[in-house]
Amino acid sequence: MESKAIRRIGVLTSGGDAPGMNAVIRAVVRTASANNISVLGVRRGYSGLINGDIIEMAARSVDGIIRKGGTMLYTARCPEMMTEEGLQKAADTCKYLGIDGLICCGGDGTFRGAQALSRKGVPCIGVPGTIDNDIVCSDYTIGFDTACNTAVECIDRLRDTMQSHERCSVVEVMGRRAGHLALNVGCAVGATATLLPEREIDFETDVIEKMRMGRIKGRNHHIVIVAEGYGSAQSVADRIHESTGVDTRVTILGHIQRGGSPTSQDRIMATRMGYAAVRALMDGKTNRVIVLEDHRITDLDIEEGLSRKKDLNQDLFEAQQAVAI
């Protein structure tokens, strides 16, 4: 059966913001404009779709946003989308405005909303945007590289003062359910130990003894990275101080990791994925998520994508453990 011609599409960002979301919006608008497709920007995620918070967008309306963090369309979490009434309102808005397809940038919750709308007859394509890099079906998510670089820059600054005072710094980075960010940051800053929700450790062997051996070999300061999903950074610091007597301070980087101008990698990946999302709609696809798989941009069925499992990079984990002495 011949695909319906795409005349008008919508684009939204949902869930937690990530650097590079603006670059996705730009790529979607520019790609659509190049193919004579009009674009409606849905503000505040699915909440904006339910409430009709929608603006018209054109190629010039996205000038300069590729370098900006956050999202010009704003973002919000929308519990109402989990109800049949809210879902139907969102689908009715698309029908009323003649939206032939919707591109949704965000994480797992965003994709579940897109999946539900697809079942209501609204063609939807998901684009992975989250700093945690925890979208199981994609090797990379937009915002991850920028968040890593932001955390590394902050910790490099912390190291200067930790070294001056011969202290231990326990730094909590984001990652409630996944330790990808913490693992990469820990490797990049040369952390003494990195604590992750996916890996059980022997605290005495993997943290305390490493600190002791480091001191014996001449190290007078330590950095310990804790993924927020592992547990309390303060509890880790208290345990270190109790066992070693070392002056230990806690720093929680928090939402600073979400902000800032996106790196070149995030800008490029966002552009490629935004372009691929529009092309997928033009090809008549729905209920798909754009992913990076084996260094290629492709798309998968959302249900299949959500059912996959994603573990930490074991090679990186082993390398980081080996050099943290």
User: How many Å from the N-terminal Cα to the C-terminal Cα in the chain?
Assistant: 62
The answer to whether 113 and 78 are in contact (CB under 8 A) is: yes
Under DSSP, is residue 109 helix (H, G, I), strand (E, B) or coil? helix
Rounded (5°) CA angle 281-283-286: 45
DSSP-based helix, strand, coil % in the chain, nearest 5: 50, 20, 35
In total, the chain counts a number of residues equal to: 325
Dist. CA 257–CA 160, nearest whole Å: 20
Structure token pair of residue 16:
């937690």
Report the half-sphere exposure of 179 (CA within 13 A, side-chain side): 22
**Whether residue 132 lies in the annotated active site:** yes
Listed residue (172, 184, 168, 162) closest to 240, CA to CA: 168
Residue type, 176: R
Listed residue (320, 317, 302, 258) closest to 135, CA to CA: 302
Phi, psi for 51 (deg, rounded to 5): -100, 0
DSSP secondary-structure letter at 129? B
In a 10 Å sphere around its CB, with 0-12 CB exposed, 13-18 middle and 19+ buried, how is residue 227 labelled? buried
Question: Strands 124-128 and 101-106, how do they pair?
Answer: parallel
The answer to whether 151 and 254 are in contact (CB under 8 A) is: no
> Choosing from 132, 134, 145, 299, which is the catalytic residue?
132
The residues facing 125 across adjacent strands are 103, 288
Give the catalytic positions in this structure: 132
